[in-house]
Structure 1
Amino acid sequence: MAAITISNLVKTYPGSTERATDDVSLTIRDGEFTVLLGPSGCGKTTLLRMLAGLELPDSGSISIGGRDVTYLPPNKRNLSMVFQSYAVFPHRKVDYNIGFGLRMARVPQAEIDRKVRWAAELLQLGDYLDRFPAQLSGGQRQRVAVARAIVMDADVLLMDEPLSNLDALLRLTFRSELKKIVQDLGTTTVYVTHDQSEALSLGDQVAVMRKGRIVQLGDPLDVYDAPADRFVGGFIGSPPMNFIDATVSPAGDTLLLGDQRLAAPSILRSFAGHGVQLGIRAENIGVGTSRSSGDIAAEVTVVEPMGSSVLLTVDVDGHTLKVQAPPAFKAKPHERIWLGFSPNTMRFYDRETSMALEAK
């Protein structure tokens, strides 16, 4: 078993007044693929390095498989790591690079050969074992780094933005391959990235981090669909979630957006007469050239054909929204269109705290 339990982990670097990780707690089940997602400087890499034993916490604890490893050196934790840079030896051939960790562990040569061949076939490197890294593409070199990690039979696999050095198309291809490999291995995996598309597509669970804290933890689709606060909604999604200042009518049955009105979902009954922020995804806004019941008016400002959709930037009483329309939808700048809001796709946030509202 290789479940990971992180409890109240605090790390502050010398000379800094802010905590790199601020009382972080996280549980990762055995075999689970967990993604640490967030912008640069949010603490995700620091957390990964403390898991690896490359950094030591000021306080808190880390256990792997029920064993306290908080202050153990990396070689006592039975884990392997894939770095952002390929970190392969340029003067050594692929087979040597893949088997390097096994050699350091003094594994018998026959066993090294067997495991190297197994990993090479799994990562489509069987024809490249006799080549030097300079003779490989970037994607192939990253496969070498992954192969070197998985041959170690580690309890935990750590990955620090392993796809960031690849071009967009190769990153997309290798992402799906990597997910299948990790699923087949069943190894507990912790993956760090700032790319929300990677996080949503790879993870069994996503931990969104900000300023050293986990601000939301959950299933990728739940995190996308119901952000815990405005930061998560604005960070995840392309385009990010729209946010609009609104006021709940005194009766609690209508949402006022400037001079326009929407039917208020039942969650807002307890916020009658108060200001809120409405959050809604671009793809959840209906769009039409004629008005239907409950629609609100908008003026098109920018039209961006995206192939599979048309991305519209529109103005609603001074609020700028992104709307994802069908590819056949025709609109021009300064044209009036009508927007439909489905109650079950609207999310609501406190104006002061930016936290999601819950019915009182």
Structure 2
Amino acid sequence: MAEVILRDLVKTYPGGKNRATDEVSLDVGDGEFMVLLGPSGCGKTTLLRMIAGLELPDAGQVVIGGRDVTYAEPRRRNLSMVFQSYAVFPNKKVRDNIAFGLRMRGVAADEVRRKVDWAADLLQLTPYLDRYPAKLSGGQRQRVAVARAIVMDADVLLMDEPLSNLDALLRLSFRAELKKLVGELGTTTIYVTHDQVEALSLGDRVAVMRDGRIVQCDGPTAVYDEPASEFVGGFLGSPPMNFLTGTVEASDGGPKLDLGGQSLSVPAALSSYAGKTLKLGIRPEAIEVAGGDGALSGELQVLEPLGSSALLTTEVCGQTVKVSAPSTFRADPGGRLSLRLPTDACRWYDPETSLLLEVR
């Protein structure tokens, strides 16, 4: 096991106008499951490849287990990697696929057999050891790739979107298997994905990337509940966080956010922003369809039954607001709804910087 330390990593591809990674720094603890999350092109796979030694940085440092391996060959880093494609040898049986790396290292035959049997049992591959990959399902082939990685006793396990080629139901079941497996192994793991559900369900911490930088790194709950910027709030969540733009106004009863025809009471701490424009962020599931003091009036535009819930698309003062309601909710498009936005669920953002304001 090993700690991974990244310091100010920069990578610019020839002819590129922007940096693939822009002075990225990150500490991954020994035995931690770290997820790199972000949209395509944000630099997460480039970062993973620099950790693996498959790409060399233009500047910065990679330290694994206390050793500076910034420019070391991949084989000198004691890493295992699982790729997006299964990358299994079609002409080798499952047993030989799993054993390939061990044999390349010259490990004794008895030890190879023991480790292959151990990994196959752990990943429920024992009945398939004598089959060729063509006779396996996609999920089974991905398990072969994971088994081949874990038998190497590597200090760090790297995974580059290993579930993206699986169908939705298979991803769901394999995700649970993977989380259990990594927990049992206790191996330091760095996992790349663009899938927010994978990130939130798997990671001990989630590093959200954008344009080559890490914009927030925290526990899954903190990243979801306290997005550090509008980008993070809008990227995580399905549907994502709502953002309402308004002007803070002073009043005898305390400050209010004027949305252009309707107003909403806001924390007293926002009094200093009187006369300024702010953005209110709130998750769809935090909004209550209920009347009473402080409720906003909105027009229902679309109702989408989703089985376990109903997604409402409403319009409030010309701004779209998504609401997650109980599956039993019934209403006709065009009707008026009363929406309550609990103060403790509201987050406040500076519209110029898009960054979270520390307001309670």
SS of equivalent residue, structure 2 residue 71:
coil
**Cα deviation code 1:137-188 (max 9, x no counterpart):** 0000000000000000000000000000000000010001000000000000
Note if 1:195 corresponds to 2:166: no
Distance 1:223 1:314 in 2: 26
Note if 1:256 corresponds to 2:258: yes
1:219 shift after superposition: 0.4
Distance 2:30 2:228 in 1: 26
Matched with 2:119 is 119
Q: Normalising by the residue count of structure 2, what TM-score does the alignment of the two structures yield?
A: 0.98
Q: Report if the CA contact (8 A) 1:270-1:359 is conserved.
A: no
Indicate the percent of aligned positions where both proteins have the same amino acid: 66
Matched with 2:151 is 151
Matched with 1:109 is 109
Distance 2:199 2:139 in 1: 19
Distance 2:274 2:99 in 1: 65
**Cα deviation code 1:306-353 (max 9, x no counterpart):** 111110000001001110011111111001010001001001111111
Q: Report if the CA contact (8 A) 1:304-1:311 is conserved.
A: yes
Specify the code of the residue in structure 2 equivalent to 1:258.
G
Matched with 2:135 is 135
Matched with 1:268 is 270
SS of equivalent residue, structure 1 residue 127:
helix
Matched with 1:315 is 315
Distance 1:333 1:270 in 2: 39
Matched with 2:279 is 277
Distance 2:172 2:247 in 1: 42
**Residues 218-297 of structure 1: pairs in structure 2 closer than 5 A:** 218-251=218-251, 253-288=255-290, 291-297=291-297
1:266 shift after superposition: 3.2
Q: Report if the CA contact (8 A) 2:348-2:359 is conserved.
A: no
Q: Report if the CA contact (8 A) 1:81-1:158 is conserved.
A: yes
Note if 1:73 corresponds to 2:73: yes
Distance 1:344 1:299 in 2: 24
Q: Report if the CA contact (8 A) 2:250-2:271 is conserved.
A: no
Q: Report if the CA contact (8 A) 1:267-1:358 is conserved.
A: no
SS of equivalent residue, structure 2 residue 126:
coil
* Structure 2: gaps of 5 or more residues: none
Q: Report if the CA contact (8 A) 1:37-1:209 is conserved.
A: yes
**Residues 9-24 of structure 1: pairs in structure 2 closer than 5 A:** 9-24=9-24
1:274 shift after superposition: 1.1
Specify the code of the residue in structure 1 equivalent to 2:249.
S
Q: Report if the CA contact (8 A) 2:267-2:359 is conserved.
A: no
Specify the code of the residue in structure 1 equivalent to 2:55.
E
1:359 shift after superposition: 4.7
SS of equivalent residue, structure 2 residue 357:
coil
Distance 2:141 2:267 in 1: 52
Distance 2:245 2:264 in 1: 13
Specify the code of the residue in structure 2 equivalent to 1:266.
A
SS of equivalent residue, structure 1 residue 99:
helix
Specify the code of the residue in structure 1 equivalent to 2:146.
V
SS of equivalent residue, structure 1 residue 273:
coil
Specify the code of the residue in structure 1 equivalent to 2:311.
L
Specify the code of the residue in structure 2 equivalent to 1:68.
D
Q: Report if the CA contact (8 A) 1:284-1:342 is conserved.
A: yes
Distance 2:123 2:12 in 1: 38
Note if 1:347 corresponds to 2:351: no
Q: Report if the CA contact (8 A) 1:247-1:274 is conserved.
A: yes
Distance 1:144 1:341 in 2: 48
Specify the code of the residue in structure 1 equivalent to 2:262.
Q
SS of equivalent residue, structure 2 residue 134:
helix
Distance 1:269 1:221 in 2: 29
Specify the code of the residue in structure 2 equivalent to 1:37.
L
SS of equivalent residue, structure 1 residue 259:
coil
Matched with 1:326 is 326
**Cα deviation code 1:208-257 (max 9, x no counterpart):** 00000000000011001111111111111000110110111134621212
Distance 1:125 1:39 in 2: 33
C-alpha RMSD of matched pairs (Å): 1.1
**Cα deviation code 1:44-70 (max 9, x no counterpart):** 000000000000000100101111010
Total equivalences in the alignment: 358
Q: Report if the CA contact (8 A) 1:99-1:148 is conserved.
A: yes
Matched with 2:357 is 357
Q: Normalising by the residue count of structure 1, what TM-score does the alignment of the two structures yield?
A: 0.98
Distance 2:109 2:175 in 1: 32
* Structure 1: gaps of 5 or more residues: none
Specify the code of the residue in structure 2 equivalent to 1:196.
Q
**Cα deviation code 1:97-133 (max 9, x no counterpart):** 0010000000001000000000000000010000000
Q: Report if the CA contact (8 A) 1:103-1:112 is conserved.
A: yes
